[in-house]
Each structure stands twice: as C-alpha cells, then as structure tokens.
Amino acid sequence: MSLDTAYDPDNIFARIIRGELPAISVYDDDDALAFMDIFPQTRGHTLVIPKKARATNFFDADVADLSVLIARVQHVARGVRKALKPDGVRLAQFNGAAAGQTVFHLHFHIIPVFESEGLKRHAGEKADMAELEALAGRIRAALG
C-alpha cells in the first residue's frame, strides 16, 4: 500500500464506524471515534479516527478535517493521561506500508508510556479483552 493508495470504504476502521465490526470505544461524536487498540503497544493504547473524512492517510485529508481530528486527539489524550497517569504519552501516525501503516483509514495513536513497563511491538500481540474493557471504562470516566 503506497502513499497514493485509493481509500477503501471497506477497511476495518470504516467498518467499525458503520457498526459492522465491534470496538471498545472511549469517545464518539459526529466527527471522530476513539477506541482501544486491540494489539496495544502499551496499557491504554488508544486510536482516534475521523468518521466523515474518507482519508487513507495524512496527505489526502482536508485541513479542516485534520484540525477537528487533532482537537479530538488532544481531548482523548487528556482523558488517557488523567485516567492512567502515564510517565509520558507518545502520539503516532503512520503513512504508507513502508512507514508501518497497516490500516488504511487515517488515524492517530495515543500511546501512554510507563517507565516501569516496556513498549510492545506495533500491531503485535492481541490484548485481553476484559483488561481493555476495564481500561476503556477508566478513560471514559476521565473524559466525563
């Protein structure tokens, strides 16, 4: 998948938005959806995706859509920080398979980092769903 790959309306995240696939969400409005990454790099790894923008990556998104999305990323990242009290927070966004992108619907990663816990590899090991639900509950509560 190159940087110029056309948007596929049946990608996993588009199907999550349409409710065809499940997700453990922490935030949802008309413009953006945030949910737990099921192959998390750390405890609390969360994804934020645009709901209306049919953007494969950062380059083909409208700047207006991007500005709404980054505001939602900040909002959700604040919730993750408040809920889990990490030592640091990594924001990541990959474009093209060569850069590590595996799902071709624009998204931002919020990756809380804990000094005493390592980072797992990208899109690697499936999480325990009960643990993800519990983390999501804490993030939702922090978001109010």
Among 61, 123, 142, 143, binds ligand 5GP (CB under 6 A): 123
Instruction: Tell whether residue 102 is a contact of ligand 5GP (CB under 6 A).
Output: yes
Q: How many CB atoms are located within 10 Å of the residue 78 CB?
A: 14
Residue 78 CB partners (closer than 8 Å, separation 6+):
none
Among 1, 5, 31, 39, binds ligand 5GP (CB under 6 A): 39
Angle between helices 129-143 and 63-84 (to 10 degrees): 100
Residue 107 is among the residues annotated as catalytic for this protein = yes
Q: Give the whole-angstrom CA distance, residue 94 versus residue 110.
A: 12
94 binds ligand 5GP (CB under 6 A): yes
Any contact of residue 7 with ligand 5GP (CB under 6 A)? no
CB 109 within 8 A of CB 76: no
Helix residue ranges per DSSP H, 1-144:
12-17, 63-84, 129-143
- Residue 113 as a binder of ligand 5GP (CB under 6 A): the answer is no
Task: Provide, rounded to whole angstroms, the least separation between the CB of residue 57 and ligand 5GP.
Answer: 9
Chain residues binding ligand 5GP by CB under 6 A are 12, 23, 35-39, 47, 94, 100-103, 123
Active site residues: 107
